[in-house]
Structure formats: C-alpha cells, structure tokens
Structure 1
Amino acid sequence: MAKKIVLLAHTGQVGFELHRQLQSLGSIITVSRGDVDFLDSDAVYKHIDELAPDIIVNAAAYTAVDKAETDENNAFALNRDLPEVLAKLSVTHDALLAHYSSDYVYPGDGEKPWSEDDLTGPQNLYGRSKLEGDLAVESIASKFLIFRTSWVYAARGNNFLLSMLRLGQEREALNIVSDQIGAPTPARLIATVTSLCIQKFMASNNANKLSGVYHLAPRGFTSWHGFAQMIFERARAEGVTLALKEDGLGQIESTEYPTPAARPLNSRLSLDKIESAFGLAMPTWQSQLCLTFDEWLEMNKS
C-alpha cells in the first residue's frame, strides 16, 4: 500500500526539492502556512491528525539567524514547538518523522568535524531553538530521522550562491569571510538523501534502531571565501558576465564582519554515521556546486 506522506513547507528551497524527490515513495499531501498557522500548535495538531500520515517530513523552520536574536518567540515556535507537535503526531499515527536541524547546535570551535554524539553548545538563539527542537523530537518520537545540515543553498530562493551571483554582477570587488569552515549543502542533496534514508528506514526490520540524529552534508570542507571563489570560477567558465574583477575577491575574518548573531567558525560535520547506517557514499561539495550551478544556468537562460 502506498504511504501517505505529509510534507510541511513544500515551497521553500528544501521543501521544493523534497516535493520532487518523495514522489516515488507514496502520495504526498502538502501543508503550507496558507493551510494552517504553523505558530498555532493546536491548529497544526488538528489539521495533520485528520490527514492520518504514515510519514511526516518537516521542511518548515525559522531560518533568519540574525533576526532570531530579537524575534525569540517566533523562532522557538517554529524551531521547537512545531517539531514537538509533529513528534506527538508521529506517535499517534505510528508515523516516521523526518526533521531538519543545523550545525549551529554545536559550539563551533576547534577544527575537528563534529560527530552526532558530541556535546552541543549553540552560540546564538537560532542554534538554541534548533537544538530544543531536536531534543523535543528525540524525547517524544519513537520513529524519527533528524538531519543536521550546514550552509544550505539552492538554484532558487534566498541563499549564498544566488547572493554571490547577484553581487558579482553588480560590484567590482567583494570581501568574503574566510575563517568560517563548513560544507555548502544543496537542497537537492538534502532531498535525495532524505528519500533514500526514508526508503531504507521503512524497509528495515530494525527500523527503530535507525531512529536518531544524522549529519547530512557533502564531503569536504571550505570557507565562505572558498565557496565564493568556486562560484565565480564556474560563472566565468560558463560565460556569465561579471562586474567583479579577476582579483576582486578579498578575504576577511569574522571579526571584520560583525553580525547580530555569532557564527560558528567550525561547521565541519562528520558523515561516518549516515554513510554507515544507510550504506551511502556522500558526494563532494564541489561536484554538488557544479550540479546546482548548472541548474541555475538552465533556469536563467535568456
């Protein structure tokens, strides 16, 4: 029997890709903010309870990291309270809950890649709200997959890739932070891996043993400056007209670019657990950027 999948926030950059990737797993029922107020826990429970899902995939989140510092109520409502409600629904319907978290739950120091069992220690309010969402899911749900991702981008939406392409066409010089290290993660990879993991989870005889927290990112690491550098290399190679001069990409440290919310310097994530548990071999961030850039090119053909 085909599974009934409830997908929250299908129009965001991750939700859009999930909507494409999950089609083969069952019938998808999308739930947007136009259908129900995600800030109203009772309304969310009632709405999704009536749908009787087999799988719940939560792509809804508060992602405005700096704004969260002064918008605590909404950040926690979306990043903690909503996952808590979905976890309760997953128990009610014996459903699998797939939820997304962040590298921001870790302290962000050192150079060693974080593993899923490392001590957490968020540096900002956004990170705290994501961590509390994780803890709520872990304490309530019996069948769940929490995917902690980093530096999410896509060929659509609002993200670093599109910001760089826009600024590179407007300015002759840019300075980009070079002391924050992580793995740029395209939304399409998140959706593809989510689909594979859900399939293996649902087919497993020991599905409950697969429940847990997993890092979901490509192989390898770079800085924001390194990421920008490759974006502009690809742009020039593909004939994209840039105002940015060949030597116009400068490096700065985080202290020279202060933001309301502190950013982790170390966003490296170990992938050993997800690769071992689900038999995956994660691709490199460079190969994923090439794929995403090609998609952007296709979408922006004049």
Structure 2
Amino acid sequence: MRSYHVNSGEGIDGLTIRHHEDPVPGAGQVVVAVRATSLSYRELMVLRGYYVLPVKPDVVPVSDGAGEVVAVGPGVGGFRAGDRVAATLFPSWQDGRFGVQHLPQRGGSLDGMLTELAVLEESGLVPIPDHLSYEEAATLPCAAVTAWNALTGDGTGLRPGQTLVTQGSGGVSLFALQFAKALGARVIATTSSPAKAKRLADLGADDVIDYRATPDWAAEVMELTGGRGADRVVDVAGLLEQSLKAVTIAGHVACVGFVSDVAPPIDSRVLFASGATVRAVAVGSRAEFFAMNRAIEVNRIRPVIDRVFPFDEAPDAYRYYASGKALGKVVIRIRL
C-alpha cells in the first residue's frame, strides 16, 4: 500500500509518497480501502504550519475520506467487508457537546485519509448514502458536517421560512445552501463575481450579492429582508462584524472559520446591539453525521464537485485548491 506523508509547515512540496506493508486490523478496528478523499481549508493550514490543533510529525494528511471495508478485527459488529463507509473527523466525538477529550483528529494528531488503506476504529465510521459515489461521499466529513452543525446544532435549528446568509462558494457555504433549501429556508448568498453568482442561483440561492460590487453586503441583506435582517449567518470568512450587522435581533451567527492570518476587530457595541448568539462550529459529532446523512438521502442531495484528481497527482490537487479557482469540492480519487 501507498500513503502520503508530510510535516506541518513544509508546504505542498513537502508531500512525499511511501510504500508500507498492508495493515491488519486490531480489536474494534476495520481496514478501509480508501476510494477518495477531498480537500478543505484545514488541509492548507496543516501544510502551511498554522492549523489551530496539534499536528503530529510525518502525518498522513487529509481528514476526509470514503471507501470500502475490506477487513474487520475482533469484536467488530457494526460493519463487514464490502460496506461503504466514511470516516468521522473527530473519531471519539460520538454525540453531545464537543470537549477537549475529543481533540484527536484525522490528518492532524492522527493519521488521515490520503492513503490506499486506512486502519480505523469502528466507532469512527458511518455508512454513506446509497445514491452517492465514493467521490461524493468523500466530501462529507468536514465541510458538510460543519454546515449541518451550523444550521441545526444549536438546539433550535434553521426553520422553514427563515432566512440564511452564506458567504462565498466554498464547500461549507455550498452545503449550507443545499441543506437550507432542503429545510425550507430562504438563502441569500454572497460571492465575488457574476459567474459565481449565476452558479449559486442555479444551486438554489434566492438572492445573490456580489460583495465586490457591493462591499457593504450587510446593508444589502437588510434591504432584501425589509430591514429585519437574516435569521442566521454562516460566517466562513471571519467577517464577524459584518455578519452581526446582517443578522436579525437575537439571531444566530455560526463562526465556521477564517480565510486570513489577520482577523478584523469586532466592535463590542455591534455585538451587544445585535443581541445575537455567536457560536464557534468545529465540524460535528458522529450523531450529527448520521442525522445529516438521513437528510441527504431523503432529499437526494448531491455534493458539488469541481474537479477530481488521481492519487498520484495529489500535490496538483492541493495547488489547484489553493488557487481559489474551484467552485465546489476538490477530490482525490485513490482507487476506482
């Protein structure tokens, strides 16, 4: 078997591929033939050396992956050879609130999925929806679960008729758009170009704001909602002050991440005036993954994939993803 390895901070050029003996599962473990993986912004942070969680030396990178169970160890009762599965990003986070005990994560402090064969705990796997290909299922563990948690994980959840604002056309935002429409909500999307605006509209966005043409997009959200503001904002860019200006009184802002090394300051008066809940979202639990998959199955949702690269061209996949040209997920196909 072959797998990629890298040290955090070495960049894309630090990716190396090695041969290993095929693994044997231990008690409670399964061996998965990984069919596909997908990239998210965390993978760039790992390679660039500023991921917020620990990264072990010589790690097998990439948190997201899907494949076929090819061997099971003693005591495994939930899966058998031939099952189609995806791996959770935080293997120990089964349900409930996130805590420090759940910090070990694939592609960081644990080896990830950019490998032909992976040994995984049974408790860190979920079956994948039958209508999805392995390439589509590989996009779910980070971006999709994060989006699902952002919309539903606060105890109340996005409801039919409410309004959601998404930012840009990255994986989390696209999944949030698809899930919100399935939940019966209105979606206002922001983006940076007319071409991307058209694509977002085709995917179901009710309104699209070009933030380059309209830098004060929060004011435009207020205009589009008759001065009320959006019920929820999924903030993927770290633009919290603008998100707070766009959300309704006592609304909800899910802080998913950031796209810059320097975060803009937040005026505490804006936070207070909004009365909003600001919640940091760190992917989601295995239980949320199961719930999300049920929604994907019922609504026949298909992830948006921009491009698929072969395993031997994984560094090129990283470079393409880093270019910012993709609209949809960038996938690495490992096996047919």
Relative to the length of structure 1, the TM-score reads: 0.32
**Which of the pair has the greater relative contact order for Cα pairs under 8 Å at 6+ separation?**
1
Which protein is richer in strand relative to its size?
A: 2
Relative to the length of structure 2, the TM-score reads: 0.29
